[in-house]
Structure 1
Amino acid sequence: MEMPSDDRLKGRASRAGQIYHITTTTKGRAPLFRNFAMARLVIAEMRRLQEQNLLHSIAWVLMPEHLHWLLQLNGPVAISTAVKVLKGRSSRQLGHFLPGSQPIWQKGFHDHALRREEDIRKVARYIVANPLRAGLVEQIGDYPFWDAHWL
């Protein structure tokens, strides 16, 4: 996939091999992913992107209304393209659960390209600990929607 021009227009540059922390939310912060089946559909689409060798998931957590995802880009795919594909595919799948054609995801996303000196494991631990900080569980093992490369 070629890097779309919208990355450059927004000041967003994508590089193969770069590690990014992505955060994206549901439209209106609706807690759609309290529904187990809906959460599993999003996770399946994240894994599909990795299986297609577009990216490598390092760590992620799918919260009831948002996603934190630490990933590394493979090849020429742009970060905006990877997120757009995830949102598009998951929206089509999730549309079967929701009446009408309401949007699933908020427009846009926040990304942070990790600098070489940043501790990837520290960022991954921060991401995975989100359910603890939100008070959803007392132990991360009790939260079903997360993964980390090291496990």
Structure 2
Amino acid sequence: MSNSAIYFLTGTTYIHYPYFREENQKQIILNRIDGLRNKFEMDYIVFSISMNHYHLKFRLNSNNLIPKIRQFLHGGTSYDYRKLFPKPYEHFWQSFHSRRIDSEVINWKISRYIIGNPLKHREVSRFDDLLNYPFCSFYDFSKKHGIDQAKTLVRSVIQSNEDADGYITICKL
């Protein structure tokens, strides 16, 4: 029997500054998320990266590793970022929250929130864009569960209208 558990992490940038506005900036934290897979032997990750925050859900064998994961993500991201881009503030990160997910209902709610986050924050405008957006695991999720199921899950979190061209208008968050 495994002692693994699923965890949800969120990190926000200092005063919500858009450090990750451009794709090459988002790539820095995406590289760190990919590094988590190897360094901490994670076989399951759901993520989204927005211009001023990220969400991450994963399976882990020990909650004692959460501080190391935070350091790897936050310390490594800010270090790599500083090498490539000017930083307007001394601080890079403002907050970090972690939560162990103890129910299947909460697990699904968090998954759909994460995979729809770029749509919620208007970083993409259509489900087709979300499907091809490399800074979110919507594609992986839809591959595993089906595109219709993935869209339904996102719509259950983000009330929206979709026009004939597939563009989304957010009605209610």
Residue 71 of structure 1 is matched in structure 2 by 58
Figure out how many residues of one structure are paired with residues of the other and give that number: 136
Inter-partner Cα distance in structure 2 for 1:51 and 1:140: 30
- Choose which of 86, 92, 97 in structure 1 pairs with 2:79: 92
Superposed CA RMSD: 2.5
Give the structure with higher Rg (CA): 2
Residue 120 of structure 1 is matched in structure 2 by 107
Structure with a larger share of its residues in helix: 2
Q: 1:68 to 1:76 in 2, by over 3 A?
A: closer
Deviation, 1:140, is 4.0
Amino acid at match of 2:15: G
Q: Which deviations, in whole Å up to 9, do the C-alpha atoms of 1:115-138 show, x marking residues without a partner? A: 133353442121110122223322
1:146 aligns with 2:136: yes
Structure 2 unaligned blocks of 5 or more? 144-173
Residue 39 of structure 2 is matched in structure 1 by 52
Relative contact order, CA 8 A, sep 6+: which one is greater?
A: 1
Q: Secondary structure at the match of 1:96?
A: helix
Residue 9 of structure 1 is matched in structure 2 by none
Q: 1:76 to 1:135 in 2, by over 3 A?
A: closer
Q: 1:30 to 1:57 in 2, by over 3 A?
A: farther
1:102 aligns with 2:95: no
Q: 1:64 to 1:51 in 2, by over 3 A?
A: same
Q: Secondary structure at the match of 1:110?
A: strand
- Choose which of 102, 105, 116 in structure 2 pairs with 1:129: 116
- How much identity, in percent, do the aligned residues show? 25
Q: Secondary structure at the match of 2:20?
A: helix
Q: Which runs of 4+ in 1 moved over 4 A?
A: none
Deviation, 1:58, is 2.3
Inter-partner Cα distance in structure 2 for 1:76 and 1:30: 29
Structure 1 unaligned blocks of 5 or more? 1-15
Contact 1:91 1:103 in 2 (8 A): no
Q: TM-score, normalised by structure 1?
A: 0.76
Q: TM-score, normalised by structure 2?
A: 0.67
Q: 1:45 to 1:122 in 2, by over 3 A?
A: same
Amino acid at match of 2:99: H
Deviation, 1:25, is 0.5
Q: Secondary structure at the match of 2:51?
A: coil
Q: Secondary structure at the match of 1:55?
A: coil
Q: Which deviations, in whole Å up to 9, do the C-alpha atoms of 1:73-115 show, x marking residues without a partner? A: 1457521221121111111110123336833222x41122111
